[in-house]
Structure 1
Amino acid sequence: MVGKVNPQLVFVHGIGGLRNAEAEQREWLRALATGARAAKQAELISALTQGWLADVRFADYSDLLTTKGAQGATLGSELDEFEEQVLSGLLEAMVDELAQQFPPETSTGDARVIEQARHHLDALSSGNSAQGVGGFARQIVWVTTTLLQLPGLRQTAQWANGQAFASHLSQVARYLNRKGDKASLGSAIRSRVLEGLDPTRPLVVVSHSLGTVVAYEALHEYEGQVALWVTLGSPLALGGVVLQRLVPRPPSCPEKVGAWHNFWDRNDVVVGRPRLAKWIAPSSKGVKAQTAPVKSGGVWTHTATKYLEHAKVAGPIVEALLP
């Protein structure tokens, strides 16, 4: 008698420092179990957390982005012009999203912080930024340090200071850089995500933040069938920053994906909101992103575990893992 073959479940993380893959896998699974309970699938929690339901892997590529000389802790003068454009564009998009939550006309403390951050960005784009070696980095750190004055970001985000915040955001720019030998970083990251996968077995991919960009390109390379791809807090639809720089182009759902669920929080300043479903074309089989909002507490809602704790997020993932 042939034994049961478990499906594969792969978690793909986003920006940040060095990871403890084993510990983070447990955290993501606990959050998914919380969501499964909320989705009234409590009977599957033990099977999920104990590894009976699926073979789970946390695809950790953090060391590729945080090695010495790769801006693991600080933002120096290593960014090239392309990476500077992407990083400043990403911050502009974040400030725009924050301004929608705290409009200038409200004259609140939060609104004033956001306008101050915009002032620093405007100075950068107008050429009035700090001059000399590292001038761009200093100006960007002024922006991120200003944003960390927002109580929600200061209390719940993962950064101790503006340097770390800017450095981690720059990982998006570095991943997207296709120039010369810098393209090897993105290739190595995608290989890390795909390594060990068996194309003959069912696969469910849960990706977050920068991980959704990595997964988009990796799944275009993957030869096996993907039963479900879930994107959380995705910047894929940030038009001038990410969308136009994806490979392959024009952007479309990876051909091997059977279903794609995208979730965004209205308070998540990193996401492209519902535009993702409109701006990324369906696959030749008609599969496209099915987008749904969730609502978490606090200003900083851009964490994978906050998303996974929602019933509407966890429910489809657990169902896709069932025999």
Structure 2
Amino acid sequence: MSVSGTPQLVFVHGIGGLRDAARERREWLTALAEGARAAGHADAVSGLTQGWLAEVRFADYSDLFTDAEAQGDGPGTLDEQEDAAFMTEFVGSLVDELVRQALERGDRRTAAVAEDARAQLPGDDEDEDDEEQGVGEPFRILGMVLTTLLQVPGLRETAQWASGTPLLWHLAQVGRYLRRREADGTGRTLDARIRERVLKGIDPDRPLFVVSHSLGTVVAFEALRGHRGPVPLLMTLGSPLATGTAVLQRLVPQPPRTPGRVERWLNFWDRDDIVVGRPRLDRWMLPNAAGVVPVTSRVDSDGLWVHTATKYLRQPGVAGPLVEALKK
């Protein structure tokens, strides 16, 4: 039973398949506990796992994507023209970022693979051949691009996708959310139903701490604009929010600004996280009335495939500030 005034901590997941909310809640908490110990907060571990430091919930909206998916390799709700354009832009930005990162590190092999992937991206000159290509051809090409990208040394072994096609369908969830369609029988669009999951059961009279990851950072950002209670800390991990026109310019409201009740916003990125654009979020996000803007910090995880929430949460630089804020 929750105690009146006990902080509320909500985890908001990102792209992927159907989730086991109870299991993932435990995994996120275990990772956070490891990070807390590394940050010198071993005394807070029992409070995290036993629930007296904060009432912890995992906001699971994965079924809203998977219920609408067709049996087979991908979702049956993609719009051929609109989603193809979005995914081409989005995947292109990921490839460009990987090329840039590899060149900065002097990693010529990774840069060569990423350049090969970039060369396969659909171009404007292919528009004239759309009828000959047939339905689904842009997605087939993008799947091949991502399959090539997965050949980066170390990425195939550590990533959770065997080929580019399932990765493409998971990345397409970002486009489906931002398209703001797929209404249910009551007229609520997919994005609205997802945001409702994030705030379901939240007491507006108690402080709310939000830890969001990947697509979940977009969801949390938009969900909090309608939240009336105090938000001492918003934490975004591996966020695509700063991905230029692909994501940033599709956010609501425009121009994007820090949600009104957020008192502090910490944004974390890993240089080896291919789903994250450059940390431009603080430059592109307007402050709220209290002057709050995101503060971005870089972390370095082991392995090339670092786009998992648990890898971020194990970092003492991530777990430390969260635990310190919960203790106040």
Question: 240, 251, 254: which is aligned to 1:235?
Answer: 240
The Cα offsets for residues 71-95 of structure 1, whole Å up to 9 and x where unpaired, read as 8852568334222222111111110
Counterpart residue number, 2:301: 296
Decide whether aligned partners of structure 1 residues 70 and 14 sit closer, same or farther in structure 2, where only a CA change above 3 A counts. farther
Deviation, structure 1 residue 116: 1.9
**Residue 193 of structure 1 is aligned with which of 193, 198, 207?**
198
1:70–1:242 distance in 2 versus 1, CA, 3 Å: farther
1:190-246, CA deviations, whole angstroms, 9 ceiling, x for partnerless residues? 001111000000110000010000001000011111110000011111111100000
CA 1:125 to 1:197, structure 2 compared with 1: closer, same or farther past 3 Å?
Answer: farther
| Contact 1:76/1:134 (8 A) holds in 2 | no
Paired residue for 1:110?
Answer: 110
Instruction: Report the counterpart of residue 28 of structure 1 in structure 2.
Output: 28
Aligned to 2:177: 175
Q: What is the CA–CA distance in structure 1 between the aligned matches of 2:323 and 2:125, rounded to whole Å?
A: 46
SS of match in other structure, 1:258: coil
Residue in structure 1 matched with residue 134 of structure 2 by the alignment: 132
Q: How far off its partner does 1:273 sit? A: 2.6
Residue 284 to residue 125, structure 1, CA distance change in 2 (3 Å):
farther
With normalisation by structure 1, the TM-score equals 0.92
Task: Report the TM-score when normalising by structure 2.
Answer: 0.91
| Displacement of 1:322 | 1.7
Does structure 2 retain, via aligned residues, the 8 Å contact 1:71–1:167? no
Partners of 1:113 and 1:195 in 2: CA distance: 43
C-alpha separation between the residues in 1 aligned to 2:126 and 2:322? Answer: 46
Which residue does 2:44 correspond to in 1?
44
For residues 1-323 of structure 1, the aligned pairs below 5 Å read 5-69=5-69, 73-74=73-74, 78-103=78-103, 108-123=108-123, 126-127=126-127, 131-178=133-180, 181=183, 184-323=189-328
Tell me the matched-pair count: 322
- CA gap of 1:270–1:124, structure 2 versus 1, over 3 A, is farther
How far does residue 103 in structure 1 lie from its aligned partner after superposition?
3.7
Supply the distance in 1 between the matched residues of 2:125 and 2:146 (Cα, whole angstroms): 16
CA-based RMSD of the aligned residues comes to: 2.4
Q: Which amino acid in structure 2 is aligned with residue 211 of structure 1?
A: G
Task: Report sequence identity in percent.
Answer: 55
3-state SS in 2 of match to 1:285: coil
- Measure the CA separation in 2 of the matches of 1:199 and 1:77: 35
* Bigger Cα displacement from structure 2, 116-125 vs 298-307: 116-125
How far apart, in 2, do the equivalents of 1:224 and 1:71 lie?
A: 41
Q: Secondary structure at the match of 2:244?
A: coil
Query: Deviation per CA, 1:270-302, whole angstroms, max 9, x where unpaired?
Result: 223321001001101101101111111222211
Please tell me the residue identity of whatever aligns with 1:33.
Answer: A
CA 1:168–1:125: 2 relative to 1, 3 Å = farther
* Residue identity matched to 1:273: R
Task: Give the counterpart letter for 1:119 in structure 2.
Answer: A
Name the CA shift for 1:157/1:10 in 2 (closer, same or farther; >3 Å): same
Deviations 1:103-138 (A, max 9, x none): 49x794433321221111044764367701211121
Instruction: Give the letter aligned to residue 117 of structure 1.
Output: A
